[in-house]
Amino acid sequence: MTIVEARVTAKDVYRKVNRRILPMLLICYTFAYLDRVNIGFAKLHMQEDMPMLTDAVFGVASGIFFLAYATLEIPSNLLMNKIGARRTITRIMVLWGLASSLTMFVTEPWQLYTLRIIL
């Protein structure tokens, strides 16, 4: 294979990445951003209805999210090597949507903590 053929092959790979992977990454990033601001919007409305959900509860819920994310990211990536990226990303997106949607049913602080860990 000559250098020119290698460049064409690399160009084709980048074109495929741009068509297949980047749109999915954009969707994932959009959902990640919505979830980060979701807890802020929930705080504004939930505090009016449930005074037991204090600023401290929301602070712990935010911290739990990042702690669980950092802890569970390694096993998730190891699982991805076994089952493949497509299934892993699909699993993450479906569970993410479900856990984020279930936030609307929270009535107690422990429920919020549990959902943030699952998220």
Q: Give the tens place of pLDDT for each residue, 92-106.
A: 888 888 888 888 888
What is the reported pLDDT for 71? 86
Put simply, whether the predicted model's pTM sits higher than 0.85 gets the answer no
Would the pLDDT of 4 be above 60?
A: no
Closest CA to 35 of 111, 86, 92, 79: 92
Mean predicted lDDT score pLDDT of the chain: 80
CB 57 within 8 A of CB 112: yes
Model pLDDT for residues 26-45, shown as the tens digit of each residue: 887 887 777 667 677 767 77
C-alpha 47/C-alpha 54 separation (Å) is 7
Using one digit for the tens of pLDDT, what is the confidence trace for 46-59? 777 777 778 888 88
